[in-house]
Amino acid sequence: MKDTMNNVELTQIAQTFQTPLYLYDAAQIEANYRAYAKGFGDYPHLICYAVKANSNLSILQLLAKMGSGFDIVSQGELKRVLAAGGDPKKVVYSGVGKRREDLIFALKTGIACFNIESIAEIHLLNEVATELNIKAPVSLRINPNVDAKTHPYISTGLKENKFGIRMEEAFELYQMMATMPSLMIEGMDFHIGSQLTEISPYAEALDLTLALIDRLADAGITLKHLDMGGGLGIQYEDETLIDPADWIALAIEKIGARSLKLVIEPGRSIVGNAGMLITEVILTKENEGKHFAVVDAAMNDLIRPALYDAWMEIRNLSDTVQNTADMKSYDIVGPICETGDFLGKNRMLALKAGDYLMVKDAGAYGFAMASNYNSRGRAAEVLLQDGKARLIRTRETEESLFELEVAHLVK
């Protein structure tokens, strides 16, 4: 998030909407999207925002208005895209476990492409499409077996991962698909991981997939697009970043004279730095000389630190003086009964109960991964747009958490 809002303004927003609170900046999301669009220039392309990074309807709507397409991984995400006014003709559908009913719904909706991840999925899709008498546009997700050099949980392009189809099998599978009456071969895709900070794994994956595309062309199977997934990292700490323009330029250069539309699926790099989590310090405590700040946000609100050991910057919005003399090394922890429930460890901060802290760069995989663990309602979400702060998701009430439960009360 750009530092357009000062701490006083942010504190006022926190007071108005209460904490924990996710706050997003529309202008930053738009700028991030434009960086990709600009990188393509006139080159034929489709930007498919990866919905799973942040699937709030207002954010999807904002992107749909800018002309964005969407990368979805579930029927639920497709329904969100439609509810937000997204164009189904710009939707690509990824994921290793699409069920029959998911395929039926997506086929009837008329999406741009099914990114197929297994032989079983090829057969199921052809079967369902034949039953519905609809031609299914398809791409094979290739697992190029490249090391994305990121956290193992978000590395997806190694052969031992569950994702995609091995290079060695893909050629024959394309030949098989070419004979299947209800499949329309559109393209090829890969997605090698998330929070990538080096461009070389992409170069490697592009070389491998383009060579395969050439082999297929020689065999009479012409692909229309290449989809190089998402995965560009953002700056949480001091990471070096891949410039979207360089990334796209690399792909365009490698594609060269081939006639291939380029598809990308960025998620984190569109919304990550456009959001923050604001939380209030409930109390401070000391155990064996270690200082803890217990805050009202927890791992159920933001699981990245617990799940990936991710480092996210934490600032005190209420500490306007920044008095270094009062600074101590704090673990910023939530109220959940898990030792893994922390937002940050060993942070030099001056703070006291009642202060508002912000966790920076929490726009991606923040709220989207939130849960109700410990019967905690999920946080409210607010979007800053044209100088106004608007509620885009109401804080969950505790009552709503057990609304769907059927209590068979013991007499």
Ligand X SMILES: *Cc1c(COP(=O)(O)O)cnc(C)c1O
Residues that bind ligand X (CB under 6 A): 50, 52-53, 71, 73, 94, 191, 194, 229-231, 265-269
| Binding-site residue ranges | 231, 265-268, 304, 308, 338, 365
Instruction: Identify which of residues 225 and 347 has a Cβ nearer to ligand X in the complex.
Output: 225
Does residue 48 have an active-site annotation? no
Question: Residue 410 Cβ, how far from ligand X at the closest point, in Å?
Answer: 44
Close Cβ partners of 392 (under 8 Å, ≥ 6 residues apart):
24, 56, 57, 58, 59, 381, 382, 383
Question: Residue 71 Cβ, how far from ligand X at the closest point, in Å?
Answer: 5
Instruction: Identify which of residues 11 and 209 has a Cβ nearer to ligand X in the complex.
Output: 209
Close Cβ partners of 172 (under 8 Å, ≥ 6 residues apart):
none
| Binding-site residue ranges for pyridoxal 5'-phosphate | 231, 265-268, 365
Question: Residue 370 Cβ, how far from ligand X at the closest point, in Å?
Answer: 16
Q: Is the dihedral of CA 79, 1, 386, 11 positive or negative?
A: positive
Instruction: Identify which of residues 269 and 300 has a Cβ nearer to ligand X in the complex.
Output: 269
Question: Residue 399 Cβ, how far from ligand X at the closest point, in Å?
Answer: 33
Instruction: Identify which of residues 1 and 53 has a Cβ nearer to ligand X in the complex.
Output: 53
Catalytic residue among 337, 406, 409, 410: 337
CB count within 10 Å of CB 211 equals 11
Question: Residue 162 Cβ, how far from ligand X at the closest point, in Å?
Answer: 11
Instruction: Identify which of residues 53 and 349 has a Cβ nearer to ligand X in the complex.
Output: 53
Instruction: Identify which of residues 55 and 182 has a Cβ nearer to ligand X in the complex.
Output: 55
Instruction: Identify which of residues 90 and 347 has a Cβ nearer to ligand X in the complex.
Output: 90
SS (H, E, C) the chain: CCCCCCHHHHHHHHHHHCCCEEEEEHHHHHHHHHHHHHHHCCCCEEEEEEHHHCCCHHHHHHHHHCCCEEEECCHHHHHHHHHCCCCHHHEEECCCCCCHHHHHHHHHHCCCEEEECCHHHHHHHHHHHHHHCCCEEEEEEEECCCCCCCCHHHECCCCCCCCCEEHHHHHHHHHHHHCCCCEEEEEEECCCECCECCCHHHHHHHHHHHHHHHHHHHCCCCCCEEECCCCECCCCCCCCCCCHHHHHHHHHHHHCCCCCEEEECCCHHHHHHHEEEEEEEEEEEEECCEEEEEECCCCCCCCHHHHHCCCCCEEECCCCCCCHHHCEEEEEECCCCCCCCEEEEEEEECCCCCCEEEECCCCCCCHHHCCCCCCCCCCEEEEEECCEEEEEECCCCHHHHCCCCCCCCCC
Question: Residue 366 Cβ, how far from ligand X at the closest point, in Å?
Answer: 12
| Binding-site residue ranges for substrate | 268, 304, 308, 338, 365
CA–CA separation, 314 and 351 (whole Å): 12
Answer left, alpha or beta for residue 79, where phi above 0 means left and psi between -120 and 50 means alpha.
alpha
User: Cα dist. 303→190, 299, 370, 373 in Å?
Assistant: 26, 5, 7, 11
Report, as residue numbers or ranges, the catalytic residues: 337
